[in-house]
Structure 1
Amino acid sequence: MTRRVRAVGGGPDAGAAVVDFVLIGGLIVVIALGIVQLTLGLHVRNTLVDSASAGARYGALDGRSTSDAARRTRELVAGSLADGYADEVTARRVVVGGVEMVEVEVRAPLPVIGLIGPAGRLTVTGHAIAEDDLP
């Protein structure tokens, strides 16, 4: 006599759990990488804003010039991020409400994949009241 052994759990859904795991796992990885990339973009923006503001405050000190502000901003950006983010830094004196201020503008790539992105997409400014204009 021969016996037949029946497969347990067979049927049309056999092996579907593996496919579900791979598809859902891939989706979760893509979502997690997107969140990390958004966080990196926000970090770059905040670092540029802070560097521009610090450079403007440095250039606004009595006896300092706008070239000092731009140089200090480049140093801060290059020290915090890649050197390519410090390429387009400009500083100038502006008058706002009758008060002379130092304005530092930084144009940098917006990181799309890692720190790589199109050039000149993100523009931030920092301001400080010029001390040599104060009474």
Structure 2
Amino acid sequence: MLLVPRDERGSAVTEFVMVTALVVFLFMAVFQLGLVLHIRNTLISCASEGARLGARADAEPGLGAARARELISASLADSYADNVTVGTGVVGGVQVVEVRVRAPFPVIGLLGPDGQLDVTGRAFLERQ
């Protein structure tokens, strides 16, 4: 029969607790990074779709901002659609519609105290 030295007793429990805490922390960090990237990509997609609608020959640029707000509200929380602006600009000598979205940066889950995500979607104006 093998005897465990007295100074080794209970070390498996503490080792399990420390390793489990580390693994949970790493999992949450990777999950949070994935959430931030998902929200960023969703905002870019919605802004680009709004810019494409606003750049159509039979539409006004303001429709693009409304469409971006609608898409953001449908895919994320309504608070992410609060600050959507639209404007026109020139890129390479061609007029474009720009839909800009400023949204809270999700720091813990979907809560975002200070940071801002700033994304822009552009589309060439069809009537030039």
Band of TM-score, shorter chain = over 0.9
Q: Secondary structure at the match of 2:56?
A: coil
1:82 aligns with 2:82: no
After TM superposition, the structure 1 = structure 2 runs for residues 65-104 of structure 1, keeping only pairs within 5 Å, are 65-104=60-99
Over 3 Å counting, the alpha-carbon distance change for 1:130 and 1:103 in structure 2 is: same
Over 3 Å counting, the alpha-carbon distance change for 1:49 and 1:33 in structure 2 is: same
Aligned length: 127
Q: In 2, distance between residues paired with 1:118 and 1:24?
A: 30
Q: In 2, distance between residues paired with 1:23 and 1:54?
A: 47
Displacement of 1:108 in angstroms is: 0.3
Q: Which residue is equivalent to 1:125?
A: 120
Higher Rg of the two aligned structures: 1
Q: In 1, distance between residues paired with 2:92 and 2:113?
A: 35
Contact 1:107 1:120 in 2 (8 A): no
Q: Which residue is equivalent to 2:46?
A: 51
Partner deviation per Cα, 1:73-101 (whole Å, 9 max, x = no partner): 00111111100000000001112222111
Query: Once structures 1 and 2 are overlaid, which stretch shifts more, 118-127 or 83-92?
Result: 118-127
Q: Normalised by the size of structure 1, how large is the TM-score?
A: 0.89
Contact 1:53 1:126 in 2 (8 A): yes
Identity among equivalent pairs (%): 50
**After TM superposition, which residue ranges in structure 1, 4 or more long, deviate above 6 angstroms?**
none
Q: Which residue is equivalent to 1:30?
A: 25
Q: 1:41 aligns with which of 1, 21, 36?
A: 36
Q: Which residue is equivalent to 2:101?
A: 106
Q: Normalised by the size of structure 2, how large is the TM-score?
A: 0.94
Structure 2 segments unaligned to the other structure (5+ residues): none
Contact 1:108 1:119 in 2 (8 A): no
Q: Secondary structure at the match of 1:9?
A: coil
Structure 1 segments unaligned to the other structure (5+ residues): 1-6
Give the AA of the match of 1:15. Answer: G
Q: Secondary structure at the match of 1:116?
A: coil
Q: In 2, distance between residues paired with 1:112 and 1:38?
A: 9
Give the AA of the match of 1:50. Answer: S
